[in-house]
Amino acid sequence: MSTPSTPQERIAAVDQGLRVTRALVAELNAAAHNMREQDPISDVVVPTFDGNGYLCDLFIVPTALADYTYTGLEDLITQVLSEGTQRLREVAQAAIDRYWGPESSWQELKVLRDDW
């Protein structure tokens, strides 16, 4: 694809870039939402992350202190947060590669690619 030369072509290129960006954001938000639905790391400690990877909530079963020592529970929380963050990072990287990687149509939009 050549560099857009008319204002209409530039507008069309920016519109395409916005569609790609919206699709990426929707995919990242869906991935963050679905993380806790799929194969939970623990039933005792359940984190919730937002689309940016930030921790929104951390649910700990009320009986956890009866079932775990303080250090055992601390280790479990650390494990769950680390693995949850890693899962989200992998999903986010796959989405970023899909939309902005070397094989994506984004690279064809020279007017936008140069800014990235």
Percent of the chain with pLDDT over 90: 22
pLDDT level of residue 32 (50, 70, 90 thresholds): low
Better-scored residue on pLDDT, 113 or 89: 89
Better-scored residue on pLDDT, 82 or 1: 82
pLDDT level of residue 3 (50, 70, 90 thresholds): low
Question: For residue range 54-71, what is the model confidence (pLDDT) as tens digits?
Answer: 888 999 999 999 999 999
Crossing angle of helices 70-100 and 7-35, in 10° steps, is: 160
Q: Supply the pLDDT for residue 81.
A: 92
> Would you say 13 and 113 are in contact if contact means Cβ atoms under 8 Å apart?
no
